[in-house]
Amino acid sequence: MFLDVKRLEINRIDEEIINLIISRNLISDEIIKFKIDNDFGVYDKNRELSIINNLKSKFKDSIDPLLIEELYSKILFYSKKEHIDIIKNSKLGQIVKDKPFLIAGPCSVESEEQIHKIASDLAKFGIKYLRGGAFKPRTSPNTFQGLGNIGIKYLSDAAHSNDMKVVTEVMSANQLKENYKYIDIIQIGSKNMFSYQLIKDIAEINKTNNKPIILKRNFNATLKELIYASEYLRNENQSNIILCLRGIRTFEQIESRLRFTPDLASIVELRKLTDLPIIFDPSHSSGDAEFVLELSKGALAMGVDGLIIETHYNPSESIVDAKQTISYTVLKKIFLFIEQIRLGIE
């Protein structure tokens, strides 16, 4: 009898908790819709930290503060989750609305003629985002380091003359300042994921226009470290952030043909840890063009929001990363696979 009574009380309290969460989400929905309609960032890190810290301080003698933090992190995450695909007025929303999207182009801008030809070719396929490196963070200082500022100009001219957007990496604040008007989507490369001052500098330069930023996971970084790096951007009021998985180093590289271990499973885990869009880089994940098609299909099957791929009209001629650069034939197969997903074709 005692247990029955107490269990009924517990059931009643559980229902009250769920009803309160529902009520909270309804109010949260109104706030988020207002933010979207007025082109405000949906994510407010300071507000969320304030909510959690106030509750931890107020109830610290009654309940473990860590439990409060864990519970509210999930409540706050799910209050935003269903709105991620309807950020209709943001620059990021214009990208993710037609997901999965495809970013493609050469590893490096090699010449004006090369990048114009590739841009023209890819635009005919229906690809809207042109990638290309002008500043190359090469492991060896004796290898091609990119064309620099003139390479960015070539990339911009090629993309915009074909109604495409420019996606490129910068390695310093000065590089971004000098070329900001030419870049549509800023990339922070894998080797700079831990360069927190650079991340903050990029956010400061980008604070007015809030252009999308692709943040690539370092090949030695945990997922938590990747999220922390993204929070450096969010704390500087950057709301158009895309996370990019590009393979990690594991013991497999001792004898594997692959350059890195493709972090496909991280797509699923990241979905539970963040509300940010996630893209996958099959080119760097594998380091070998032979595996790019199947890895792309795998990532898409796991629900990734987009792909970023290296391609060239003659891969063997590519100055940088020729081995992992795919042909147009393979690129078309990936693009058609994406189109099937968009149309809901099995």
Assign 235 to helix, strand or coil.
coil
CA 300, 263, 123, 94: dihedral to nearest 10 degrees? 70
The whole-angstrom separation of Cα 109 and Cα 292 is 21
pLDDT at position 91, please?
Answer: 60
pLDDT at position 92, please?
Answer: 63
Q: Dump pLDDT digits (tens) for 312-346.
A: 999 998 888 899 999 999 999 999 999 888 777 54
What is the gyration radius of the CA atoms in the chain, in angstroms? 22
Query: Residue for token digits 């590893």?
Result: 107
pLDDT at position 140, please?
Answer: 66
Handedness of CA 162, 165, 170, 172 (dihedral sign): positive
Handedness of CA 113, 115, 119, 125 (dihedral sign): positive
pLDDT tens for each residue of the chain, 346 residues long? 888 888 899 999 999 999 999 999 889 888 877 876 776 666 676 788 889 999 999 998 899 988 988 888 888 877 766 655 444 445 666 666 677 999 999 999 999 999 999 999 999 999 999 999 998 766 667 566 678 999 999 999 999 999 999 999 999 999 999 999 999 999 999 999 999 999 999 999 999 899 999 999 999 999 999 999 999 998 888 889 999 999 999 999 899 999 999 999 999 999 888 889 999 999 999 999 999 999 999 999 999 999 999 999 999 988 888 999 999 999 999 999 998 887 775 4
pLDDT at position 144, please?
Answer: 67
Residues 185, 131, 332: CA angle, nearest 5 degrees:
125
The residue among 229, 248, 221, 236 whose CA lies nearest residue 41 is 236
Write out the two tokens for 7.
């269990």
Assign 167 to helix, strand or coil.
strand
pLDDT at position 296, please?
Answer: 97
Residue pair 165/128 in contact by the 8 Å Cβ criterion = yes
* DSSP states along 297-325: HHHHHTT-SEEEEEB-SSGGG-SS-GGGP
First-to-last alpha carbon distance for the chain, in angstroms, is: 55
Assign 169 to helix, strand or coil.
strand
The whole-angstrom separation of Cα 288 and Cα 65 is 48
Contacts of 36 (CB under 8 A, 6+ apart): 42, 83, 86, 87, 88, 89, 90
Sequence-separated contacts (24+) of 48-52 with Cβ below 8 Å? 48/76, 51/76, 52/76
pLDDT at position 88, please?
Answer: 41
DSSP designation for 327: P
Query: Residue for token digits 């060896």?
Result: 140
Handedness of CA 77, 101, 129, 97 (dihedral sign): negative
pLDDT at position 6, please?
Answer: 86
Residues 199, 141, 245: CA angle, nearest 5 degrees:
40
pLDDT at position 158, please?
Answer: 98
Residue pair 216/193 in contact by the 8 Å Cβ criterion = yes
The whole-angstrom separation of Cα 195 and Cα 215 is 11
Residue pair 212/199 in contact by the 8 Å Cβ criterion = no
